[in-house]
Amino acid sequence: MARMRCGCISRWYRRHFSRRYVGSVHQRSGSLYDLSAGDLSGIDAGSWFHDDFIGEPLPLFSQFIALVNSHRLNINVEIKSCTSGWQNTLKLIEGVIAGLDDLHPECELIVSSFNHLALAEFKRRRPQTAVACLFEASNLWDDAESILEGCGAEYIHPCDEGLTKETVKRFKQAGYKINVYTVNDLARANQLFNWGVDGVFTDIAHRFPSKYKQAW
């Protein structure tokens, strides 16, 4: 999730944006923070994927929530780090919370972030929502459990790269649920599930056997 100049929250994807700038696949350049809701309709977010989606605009978070509600989807919402200061980070958190207030109660929710300060603040303001600390392979250090505890996290979302059976066992024994990103190999996914992870993030969900396609 990212906050724009007008205060609106937009749903966007790591593949097409840096943490701050609109990507070239959207045929628009410049700082994300300079955009307003009115700018989104002129940004092509679909042509990279397929010709059927040429001209598809970037959605607002409210539009994303409406889609989720209509299909009763379970979702993970990642709060992106804000590079324009803590005050804008707080405004981003406020916007996400306002959007989530419209989420249908049957839709299960996890909110995650690499920014553990922002995640802790989100949890303080919305304690009823399950949260997950995201870790890269390079910062999954010995103090990870202290960070998870400080954030009030129920989940840890570690990177697949370098993840070991011993590390999975460590966090499972500490009482955390584990969702691993990004797992695009079926054999590796099977190994992780055999180790006891609860879920994986993947770009090839359509290729997974039915026994893995369960609502969390």
Asked if 71 and 110 sit in the same domain, the reply is: yes
Based on the domain organization, do 32 and 99 belong to the same domain? no
Claim to verify: residue 121 and residue 20 sit in the same structural domain:
no
The CA distances from residue 8 to 32, 64, 85, 113, in Å, are 12, 13, 17, 19
Q: Are 89 and 74 in contact (CB under 8 A)?
A: no
Domains of the chain: total: 2
For 47-68, the pLDDT digits (tens) are 888 899 998 888 889 999 999 9
Among 9, 28, 59, the domain-final residue is 59
**Average pLDDT over every residue of 17-38:** 59
Instruction: State how far the alpha carbon of 176 is from the alpha carbons of 105, 126, 165, 194, 195, in Å.
Output: 23, 19, 15, 16, 14
pLDDT digits (tens, 9 = 90+) for 122-143: 999 999 999 999 999 999 999 9
Domain ranges, residue 155: 61-212
The CATH number linked to 151 is 3.20.20.190
Q: Is the pLDDT of residue 179 over 60?
A: yes
For position 32, what pLDDT does the model report? 72
Task: Among 14, 31, 59, give the residue marking a domain's end.
Answer: 59
What's the first-to-final CA gap in the chain, in angstroms?
Answer: 22
- The phi, psi pair for 99, rounded to 5°, reads -65, -40
